[in-house]
Amino acid sequence: MSARLLAYAVLAIVLAFLIGPFLVIVAAGLSAGESLAFPPQGLSLRWVAKVLSIESFRSSFALSMGLAVFGTLAALALGIPVAYALSRYRLPFAESIRTIVSAPIIVPGIIVGLALLRHFVVPLDIDVTLALYAAHTALVLPYAVRVVGASLENLRGDFEEAAVLLGASRLGAFVRVVLPNIRSGVLAAFVLGFVTSFNQVPVSLFLSGPGVRTLPIDMISYLENTYDPSVAALAALLALLSVAIVYLAERFLGFYRHV
């Protein structure tokens, strides 16, 4: 019994360290007082309201949402065929292909951003927004391949062979047999990609221009010049958004099973 107690004590300390800071920032953001402090001086939503009224956050939120949704969809469109080919075909250069599509997560984001700026945006005179979309798609591609690939590995290959033998086309077999079976893996890849892209800072650091800024970058510059509870309110809103997405995904998809 005392071993159990010790286990609880250890976990309480570790979880306090891992999760406690978020509780602190949520509380500080709900403060009614004038200064950033914990415990908060009274409760109110005034700082949340202030954050929501800031104009520039709306456009940067829209950009970050667009990047997260369309970048991830593009990555899935490119990545699902790659995962399928890697798992169901005897491919020449299979290992090289695997390495190429997973490279974007091995290289630190800040290097990717700088490389794209120096050798893509500037010399070819490409729009920064387009470069951002390309970068976020490349960044999410490895998850699409890896998470969908894991689902495909768990699905027996003879299902679609049977479908083909029974007269379905290869594409028909994929759409009607494979896809329904790996659906939750695909959704999990989408959620992971969405959260990753939405929270991404280093890649976007160098890829911003007049009026083009992702939300986290916009937040960092706001936070640098402000020291009142709105900072905490902002951070809390962002943290809650990620937690809500992951919670829903876990609740309805069993998200963690797939990642």
Partner 1 sequence: MFSSRSEGLALALPGALFAALVFLLPVGLLLAEGFRSESGWTIGAYVDFFESARNRTIFWRTLRLGALVTLAAAIIGYAAAFAIVSLGESARGRLVGLVILPLMISPVARTYAWIVILGRTGIVNRALEAIGLTDEPVRFLFTETAVFIGLLQLFLPLMILSLVSALENLPRDAIPAARVLGASWWQVFARVVLPLTREGLVIGGTLVFTGALTAFITPAILGGSKVLMLETLLYQRVTVANDFASASVIAMILIVMSFSANLLLRRLAAARRGARTGTIKARTLAAGTTR
Site residues for partner 1, window 18-77 (CB under 8 A)?
18-19, 21-22, 24-25, 28, 35-38
CA distance 136 to 152: 24
Site residues for partner 1, window 192-221 (CB under 8 A)?
192, 195-196, 198-202, 205-206, 216, 219-220
Least CB distance to partner 1 at residue 105 (A): 4
CA distance 230 to 30: 9
Tokens of 136: 């976020």
Show the site string, 150-179: x = touches partner 1 by CB under 8 A, - = not. x------x------------x---------
Nearer to partner 1, 55 or 158 (CB): 158
Least CB distance to partner 1 at residue 44 (A): 17
Q: Identify the sign of the CA torsion 8, 13, 19, 22.
A: positive
Query: Which H/E stretch holds residue 49?
Result: helix 46-52
Spacing of C-alpha 63 from chain mean position: 14
Least CB distance to partner 1 at residue 177 (A): 14
Show the site string, 124-153: x = touches partner 1 by CB under 8 A, - = not. ----------xx-xx--xxx-xxx--x---
Query: Which H/E stretch holds residue 258?
Result: helix 255-258
